[in-house]
Amino acid sequence: MTQPSQGVRRSYGVKAAPYGFLLPAAALFVLFFALPIGYAVWLSFHRIEVKGLGLGKGSRSEVWAGLENYTSALTDSELAHSALRILGYGAIVVPVMLGLALFFALLLDSERVRARSFARLAIFLPYAVPGVIAALLWGFLYLPDVSPFHYLLDALGLPQPDLMDGGPLYFSMANIAVWGGTGFNMIVIYTALRSLPNEVYEAAKLDGCSQLQIALRIKIPMVAPSLVLTFFFSIIATLQVFNEPTTLRPLTNGIPTTWSPLMKVYNDAFTGGNIYAASATAVVLALATFVLSFALLRLSNRRTTQGATR
């Protein structure tokens, strides 16, 4: 009579084991991801109502605001201007960073390259530098009073551009992002290149293809999924830019407190003290990121399917 019950318990324990392993990750996901998102959504539908001078007890109360915070966020000119700045910033960062990452990956995958391991580490190393430290390093290199580049330009009698204001500011911050993110994207693309079968390259060489033709007609099309993946990562990182402008802001007057959308959220929440409007803006940014990523993914899948059918 006891043997069947022990067998059932053992079978139940084996089936429940995977859920036991997933439980810590699920708990962390709920505590540090799902609950904060849910709380931000809840805050976005509320506001503070002030009675009288707002000094007495009970003079401030949290009330339901409906879509009021979302309407204010969508009609906020500062948020629109910050979104336009991010579009200009992303138009520089994404193509340059992915272009360099693809170039370095193809170069490292070439048979003629020497010291491949050292080169791979050297290109990837800037990614290991924290974003705040990288922004500080480049920020001091941009300052005319301490930058060795400005000293050399002055010694040569050449003009010294102000890299911390106006249009050059976009290129200055884009340079920080490209310097730090190229190595990670290069590793992703390079890993995909190393997984390709050698038989394809050998067949192309027998057909008389040069290294350039192999790279353009074989390697790049076959690592297209990795290119799409790095493109999505770059788009999401661009929409969430915060470290670079926030770190460079004390060094120049050309960066407002609402330069990027996330800086606008931070300013509303911690400087203006309106966490409800900041939550609504954060939810709008999250939805915009999701819609943009989903649309790009659908477009990429459609083009991949059309190419396969042909």
Is 250 part of a structural domain of the chain?
A: yes
pLDDT score of 20: 83
Residue 293 lies in a domain: no
In a domain, 189, yes or no: yes
Quick check: helix, strand or coil at residue 132?
A: helix
Same domain, 149 and 245: yes
Give residue 295's pLDDT band: very low, low, confident or very high (50, 70, 90): confident
Task: Give 85 or 308, the one with higher predicted confidence.
Answer: 85
Among candidate residues 4, 194, 168, 208, the one with its CA nearest the CA of residue 88: 168
> Has residue 229 been placed in a domain?
yes
Whether residues 246 and 101 fall in one domain: yes
**pLDDT over 60 at 192, yes or no:** yes
What integer pLDDT is reported at residue 78 of this predicted model?
92
For residue 81, the enclosing domain spans 76-273
* Secondary structure E strands in 59-98: 60-64
- The mean-pLDDT minimum among 82-86, 105-109, 205-209, 240-244 falls in 205-209
- For residue 82, what pLDDT is reported? 94
Q: Does 264 lie in the same domain as 229?
A: yes
* Domain shared by 18 and 123, yes or no: no
Chain segment 224-278, per-residue pLDDT in tens? 888 988 998 898 889 889 999 999 998 888 899 999 999 999 999 998 889 999 9
* Rounded Cα gap, residues 175 and 244, in angstroms: 10
Give the CA distances from residue 64 to residues 59, 61, 68, 72, 120, in Å, rounded to whole numbers and listed in that order.
16, 10, 9, 15, 55
pLDDT at 95 over 90: yes
Position 49 confidence tier, pLDDT thresholds 50, 70, 90 = confident
**Same domain flag for 194 and 47:** no
108 with 249, same domain: the answer is yes
**Residue 179 placed within a domain:** yes
- Looking at the fold, whether 107 and 180 belong to one and the same domain comes out as yes
Alpha-carbon torsion, ordered 5, 11, 13, 19, to 10 deg: -140
- What is the C-alpha separation between 271 and 250, in angstroms, rounded? 16
The enclosing domain of 252 has a CATH number of 1.10.3720.10
**Backbone phi, then psi, for 60, in 5-degree steps?**
-120, 125
Across the chain, mean pLDDT equals 86
Give the confidence band of 214 by pLDDT, cuts at 50, 70, 90.
Answer: confident
Per-residue pLDDT reduced to its tens digit, 2-32: 455 565 556 656 677 788 888 999 999 999 9
Residues 224 and 265 in one domain: yes
Assess whether 57 and 84 both reside in one domain. Answer: no
Confidence of residue 167 (pLDDT cuts 50, 70, 90): confident
Statement to judge: residues 147 and 55 lie in one domain: no
Q: For the chain, how many structural domains are there in total?
A: 2
